[in-house]
Chain A
Amino acid sequence: MEHKVIDAQDVVIRFTGDSGDGMQLTGTLFADASALYGNEISTFPDYPAEIRAPQGTVSGVSGFQVHVGQANVKTPGDLADVLVSMNPAALMANAKFAKPGGSIILDQDSFDEQGLEKAGFKTMDPVKELQLEDYNVIWAPITSLTKESLKDSGLDPKSIVRCKNIFTLGMCYFMFSRPLNFTEDYLKKKFAKKPDLIAPNIKVLNDGYNYAHNTHAIGNTYTIEPAKLEPGTYRSISGNQATAWGLMAASEKSGRPLFAGSYPITPATAILEELAVHKELGVVTMQCEDEIAGICTSIGAAYAGSMAVTTTSGPGLSLKSEAMGLACMTELPLVIVDVQRSGPSTGIPTKTEQTDLDQALYGRNGECPIMVMCARTPSDCFRAAYYAGKFAMEHMMPVIFLSEGYLGNGNEPWKIPSMKDYPDIKPPIVTKCDGKFKPYERDPKTFVRNWALPGTPGLEHRVGGLEKSPAGPLSSDPENHARMVAARAAKVAVMADFIPALETIGEKEGDILLVGFGGTFGHLYTATTQLLKEGKKVGFAEFDYINPLPKNTAEVFKKFKKILVCELNCGQFADYLRAKLPQFKYEQFNKVEGQPFMVHEIVEAVKNLK
């Protein structure tokens, strides 16, 4: 085959294999090496809930998609230019994600009769069966080459076979002209305590690279020039890590120690794990006995003066409902992070969705409004978590940060901010008062009450879930109750004065306004860019704040003939907008498949709009 070097703007590569094949690591290493090389990247891990599902079956297939480019990489990409499948099941499950005419790398050794049968193939010719004749299918005996490469390494046979993902990575590094040194350095660090593993891993990486170089099987190789990024120091960060760091940053800025009470739940667990690491910065984490204890320990910590946070996913948020009401009633600062996943009930725990919006907005007893906000990209979770902490503490109330599995697990390069660029956080802590301290006296403009920390002499007071009056701890007076309900609502509503105005990307007025929130930002942004290029009069409004809505929302909406609300649920945000701004008509584009949007789907939806 003729060897072509393609100078690409961007490419998408999808690594797939058995959940024990190390595809998440392979993908992450490829992404990191690309980021260090200077490309823009966006990643999307797509893995099953089972830790080790039956080997070789479709249910055990784990995937990791990386989008690498020179500029404007805002999504992990729709279809893969290169699909790597380590076994027949991975090909079976992922062939649909390969771009027509693209390349497919297969481990020839795994495509035996037994493997094909386990994966559900009916014939011995998977290429024909899946109609992949027009693809550049590269058959490489990856397992046997790995064995050959490491036969003198001293490793046992099992460990040798486990290195086949690194061999594959080496092949991909040749194919995409990536330097090897970043990954070599990584391997040296990773195996610092097991030095016997360093040399074999580096060898197999280089052998994979050289194999791809020497064989004529690989037709095309790609160069992707470094992106023209804003100057600065960068790092790669995932959404869950950025969330943890954003919370820690808010804690440092406010001077309030960070307390996180949580319970492990996919896909939010990584936030708790990350926070648990950072004892050097004084973070207190408690892995509680359940979700309810997670939020209740946090509410206790908030009462005692901590910046309190509880992290969870949909089912956990359900369990926390009653205690969220307690935080609202006692007017204590609390950040609740919900990394949304596919539901209802256990749903598809490892897959992403935006289906908890209704729950976040309404899922509590009584009149219990709570501020709800979200993040656009993995690194944007830092900003969202920081402001969730700031608003919770300065306004003495619970705040929900609605993250998503897609954001939490995704990675992207991030220009490292400086703490001095973030605004001050000044919680309304009181240390003395004239006469008896009244906990529910409020600022007349913001409706914020003061925070008196136990241990402060003279400010002894009681809080609790019962209705109270500004004067005392308990009141069942009807008029007082109405006033308190109104005050708690006003406290949230007034936040519209503290959040940024809604911006329009693309046309400021025109035919169609795309509307979205959270992690669909990248797909909607890219779709908007494409549509603009095609001459369509479209704009795009991304909501970082849902409750309350930005004050200028109606101003933005009325400049467009049609509004298309795109969300990964059945229309929860569209319904909310119908209730809040009924003067507009809302069209919907929805997807509830546990998968992110694809850009082309959005583009088609806009074009199909009658």
Chain B
Amino acid sequence: MKYTQQDFKSDQIVKWCPGCGDHAVLASVLRAMPEVCEARGYSKEQFVFVSGIGCSSRFPYYMNTYGFHGIHGRASALATGIKVANPHLSVWQMTGDGDALAIGGNHFIHAIRRNIDTNIILFNNRIYGLTKGQYSPTSKYGMVTKTSPYGTIEYPFNPGELVLGARGTFFARSLDSEMALNQEIMVRAALHDGTSVIEMLVNCMIYNNGTHKDISDREVRADRTIILKDGEPMIFGKNKDKGIILDGLKLKVVKLGENGITEKDILVHNSKDDNFGIHSMLVDMKYPEYPVALGVIRDVADKTYDDSVYAQIDQVKSKAKIKCMDDLLHSGATWVVK
């Protein structure tokens, strides 16, 4: 069946603040869904959107699919249960930097470690919005918020580092307003068997306006971000004149044409590389030393937990003499009283 984005839209009024980055992510998801169905042969009733607590966690109400709005931090665990109970479902977890990385940090890394076949969109606005403006685990060091009136004295997580550290098989990053890229990444995530994490850099108009603006402003975006594409050299910039090379054990930004640098010196992106050395360095790139990497950074194949669960069950079943409870009840040591 062919779907349009209208098929996925629920009748609920979207209640995010005007100008919130979450609107753009919702629009991207709605656009991506028909393509995901086409690419994977899914029907609409196979989708489940799961969330925890926070602004972005309202997401399931805006989708005309199955949905579960859970409790704070536990979206990964709920999504895991849904997917493992029924691997035919396409499970999408909507979560924020507080939900996934603070209260839900443990579930987040363990879902990734197990490689549960779910798609996680992590809305990173570096702030607690729903509770009205407290710092989050991704807030910049020194940030002044209601609970850090003299500036935070905590270092932020880089979500991608956590994902790779938890032996993640898929990590991508994008900006709320990069609608076309978002759509492309979401389809890639859906095609990936295993936990796919998409870090979505979103803006919070009210409590953290412009948190990503040093890289996201239209005038500077091309020079301060790089969109990675498989098989293509890592070239970026308004004039496509900058590139990334491997200099010893580090990445380095170079200018094409300077010091004899040509396109063939530039690193070519390979998200399928099992070794995550380069992926880790790409995840780590920060402005101003580097452009911030967007696109699919890592996408490697590995066994999924949910597949393995049923493979093991099938294997045991095929050899077992016990086929039902009555068999089991009478198995092993029993004795008869006459």
Contacts and interface: CB of A to CB of B under 8 A. Distances in A.
Contacts of B77: 261, 288, 292-293, 296-297, 300
A198 B274 CA distance: 49
Contacts of A282: 313, 317
Contact of A323 (B10, B71, B106, B313): B71
Contacts of A36: 333, 335
B89 A454 contact: yes
Interface stretch (A172-180, A273-281, A490-498, A562-570): A273-281
A60 interface: no
A464 B335 contact: no
A231 B9 CA distance: 63
A230 B330 CA distance: 17
Given A233-B336, A460-B45, A279 B316 contact: yes
A298 B84 CA distance: 10
B334 interface: yes
A303 interface: yes
A461 B317 contact: no
Contacts of A249: 325
B320 interface: yes
Contact of B44 (A235, A419, A453, A460): A460
A280 B317 contact: yes
A339 to B, nearest CB: 21
A284 B78 CA distance: 15
A252 B329 CA distance: 13
Contacts of A298: 81
B74 A292 contact: yes
A245 interface: yes
B131 interface: no
Given A232-B336, A300-B78, A323-B74, A454 B317 contact: no
A279 B335 contact: no
- Size band of the B side of the interface? 35 or more
A289 B80 CA distance: 12
Contacts of A234: 334-337
Contacts of A170: none
Contacts, number: 202
Interface stretch (B60-68, B199-207, B263-271): B60-68
B180 interface: no
A301 B69 contact: no
Interface in B243-261: none
Interface in B36-57: 43-46, 48, 50, 53
B107 interface: yes
B329 A416 contact: yes
Contacts of B64: 460
A303 B88 contact: no
B329 A279 contact: no
Given A416-B330, A460-B65, A286 B80 contact: yes
B312 interface: yes
Contacts of A453: 86
A308 B64 CA distance: 26
B68 A459 contact: no
A458 B6 CA distance: 15
B60 A464 contact: yes
B239 interface: no
A259 B310 CA distance: 12
Interface in A419-460: 419, 453-460
B82 A303 contact: yes
B329 A259 contact: no
B322 A281 contact: yes
A476 interface: no
Interface residues of A, number: 70
B79 interface: yes
B334 A297 contact: no
A296 B52 CA distance: 11
Contact of A458 (B45, B46, B89): B45
A473 B106 CA distance: 29
A292 to B, nearest CB: 6
Contact of A259 (B65, B70, B85): B85
A322 B52 CA distance: 13
Nearest to B332: A235
A463 interface: yes
Nearest to A285: B309
B326 interface: yes
Contacts of B45: 454-460
Given A279-B313, A293-B77, A454 B70 contact: no
B322 A245 contact: no
Interface string B294-338: 000000000000000100110011001011111011101111111
B110 interface: yes
A233 B86 contact: no
B12 interface: yes
Contacts of A473: 12, 61, 69
A462 B324 contact: no
A458 B86 CA distance: 18
Interface string A297-321: 1111111111010000000000000
Contact of A281 (B60, B79, B328): B328
B85 A290 contact: no
B71 A245 contact: no
B82 A304 contact: yes
A297 B84 contact: yes
A325 B46 CA distance: 27
A29 to B, nearest CB: 12
Contact of A464 (B68, B89, B106): B68
Contacts of B323: 280
Contacts of A300: 50, 68, 77-83, 85
A553 interface: no
A226 to B, nearest CB: 8
Contact of A419 (B88, B89, B107, B325): B325
A300 B324 CA distance: 26
Contacts of A284: 84-85, 309, 313
A500 interface: no
A124 interface: no
Given A235-B332, A456-B45, A464-B70, A419 B326 contact: yes
A232 B328 contact: no
A304 B44 CA distance: 15
12 contacts: A229-B337, A261-B81, A292-B74, A292-B107, A293-B106, A296-B74, A301-B82, A303-B48, A303-B82, A454-B82, A464-B68, A465-B69
Give the 9 A-B CB pairs with smallest separation, nearest first: A300-B81, A464-B69, A280-B320, A296-B77, A297-B81, A301-B85, A462-B67, A304-B85, A279-B316
Given A281-B324, A304-B82, 18 more contacts: A234-B334, A235-B330, A235-B334, A261-B77, A280-B322, A280-B323, A284-B84, A289-B110, A293-B80, A293-B106, A300-B82, A300-B85, A301-B81, A303-B48, A462-B60, A463-B68, A463-B69, A465-B69
Interface of B: 10, 12, 43-46, 48, 50, 53, 60-61, 64-71, 74, 76-86, 88-89, 106-107, 110, 309, 312-313, 316-317, 320, 322-326, 328-330, 332-338
Interface of A: 32, 35-36, 38, 186, 229-236, 245, 248-249, 252, 257, 259, 261, 278-282, 284, 286, 288-290, 292-293, 296-306, 308, 322-323, 325-326, 330, 415-419, 453-466, 473-474
